[in-house]
Amino acid sequence: MSLNGSYFSPTAKTTNTRCDKAQEPRMTHDSPRNEGECGSVRRVSREWWLHVALLCIPLLAVYLHIPPPQLSPALITWHSSGHFFTFRGNNVFYKESVGVVGSSDVLLLLHGFPTSSCDWYKVWDSLTQRFNRVIALDFLGFGFSDKPRPHRYSIFEQANVVEALVAHLGLSEQRINILSHDYGDTVALELLYRSDHNRSGHITINSLCLSNGGIFPETHYPRFVQKVLKDSGFISPVLTRLINFQFFSRGIRDVFGPYTQPTETELWDMWTGIRFNDGNLVMDSILQYINQRLKHRERWVGALTSTSTPLHMIYGPLDPVNPHPEFIQLYQKLVRRSTVSVLDEHVSHYPQLEDPTGFFNAYLSFINSF
């Protein structure tokens, strides 16, 4: 309603003043008329708000139930080339390629938040030219995997999912190379802890390469929306429904370098992966991993600093989530047995997507060094 409308006119102002005076204890001869005018104003006001509510409720209902976007040709191809296995009643998506013949080397790829195994598509073909088997999965709650709710998502459960996948593929006795990013880094550290402590069902890790993951709570700066979603309690389920593509794309662009931005198509593919099976509705539950990192810091950072497994870090230095030089200096101080590759200064939080050639060459140098 414009400011020139009747409710803001001088007449309306006078009426409101009379309504105020009508509330005074002292009775006047025109009190009945004032009371009538006040009642009329209140009724009109109530009707106006009723009309607004009746208009907003269906609009909000339509907005909150907006259907997910259709899979792009690239996502259809990725999905059709993958498989599913069952973990505790849930379907988990994974993709596997057989590469170099005559080699027994196996590589397992662990993706980050909030995306999926598609994060590896730019380096996939290159990796298959080095390894006999290249395997990537969508963690529970991500990508094409099931996204149960309500559900307590945890790093420990995701590590169980990885171990179950390795067993499903008949690789339990095989030494596995792990390449991880972001959220996947923490899952990899739990797997490393289990491997070094010879836990039942553990994966035998041949090597571990991390990339741009918030493995140190003291140098990790989650995005504002992540902090809001993980700490807002009963409001979080409402907020997850309000996130749309425009909001998501602005946030994800912030963690890419200015010269390495994703294309509109790539952004839509990321968002489609999140919306698939209503994944946006479980983001608040998944984000509890940030609190888990803090709670279990000694376990996971301790595994990193004490292991004898060959370690490497590939790092995009423009990362606002794990900023340079604070993050890498702490890593080099605590993890003395690890080698480090710092990529071009324009590369940010998604190095495998922003600089796939530099990322692959850095990993290749590491994996060929032992």
Question: Tell me, what CATH number does 135's domain have?
Answer: 3.40.50.1820
Q: Tell me, yes or no, whether 39 lies in a domain.
A: no
Tens-digit pLDDT profile for residues 93-115: 999 999 988 888 999 999 999 99
Q: Tell me, yes or no, whether 154 lies in a domain.
A: yes
The number of domains in the chain is: 1
Q: Tell me, yes or no, whether 276 lies in a domain.
A: yes
Q: Tell me, yes or no, whether 50 lies in a domain.
A: no
Q: Give the model's pLDDT for residue 19.
A: 47
The Cα 189–Cα 205 span in angstroms is 11
Q: Tell me, yes or no, whether 60 lies in a domain.
A: no
Whole-number percent of the chain with pLDDT over 90: 74
Sheet harboring 90-98: ordered strands across?
A: 83-87, 90-98, 133-137, 106-110, 175-180, 204-211, 311-315, 339-342
Q: Tell me, yes or no, whether 326 lies in a domain.
A: yes
Q: Tell me, yes or no, whether 4 lies in a domain.
A: no
The Cα 184–Cα 206 span in angstroms is 17
Q: Tell me, yes or no, whether 142 lies in a domain.
A: yes
| Segments forming the whole domain that contains residue 144 | 73-368
What does R_g of the chain's alpha carbons equal in angstroms? 27
The Cα 293–Cα 52 span in angstroms is 45
Tens-digit pLDDT profile for residues 280-317: 999 999 999 999 999 999 999 999 999 999 999 999 99
Q: Are 316 and 345 in contact (CB under 8 A)?
A: no
Q: Give the predicted TM-score (pTM) of the model.
A: 0.84
